[in-house]
Amino acid sequence: MPGMLIQVFKNLFSRPATRGYPYQPREPFRAARGTLMLDIDKCIVCGACEKACPAGAIEVKPKEHLYKYDPYSCIVCGNCVEACPTGCFEITSEWRKPVTEMRTMVWEVTRTKKRAERMA
């Protein structure tokens, strides 16, 4: 019992052992994979990212010029970043904020001949 009282008084007058998370968020590690960011203006709708994605989070429809990305299916593996010839993907170290509704992102991409020639 006396040993327990000593520990109680130590804990009472010392700093907390944990962080106050919502008020003191921890900085992410340098190599941490957080969120996949896409610069749709660089996209040429080639479909390389769709083929490289093991989770099926990316769907490319070149004929309709549509690009669909489901961030909640994405496992942030980085295969699409390596496969993209234009470098329109980037993995950031910031985590996605909580949401109440999961949405699939859809973009209409204007694939110009000029942009396709730039890749050749």
At 111 the pLDDT is 60
Number of neighbours of residue 50 by Cβ within 10 angstroms: 20
Of 81, 86, 90, 88, the closest CA to residue 116 belongs to 86
Instruction: Find the mean pLDDT for residues 89-110.
Output: 82
From the list 91, 89, 98, the residue with the least C-alpha distance to 58 is 89
Residue 60: Cβ-neighbour burial (10 angstroms; 0-12, 13-18, 19+)? buried
Please give the model's pTM, rounded to 2 decimal places: 0.67
Residue-wise pLDDT for 38-52, tens only, equals 888 888 888 899 999
CATH numbers and ranges of domains, the chain = 29-119 (3.30.70.3270)
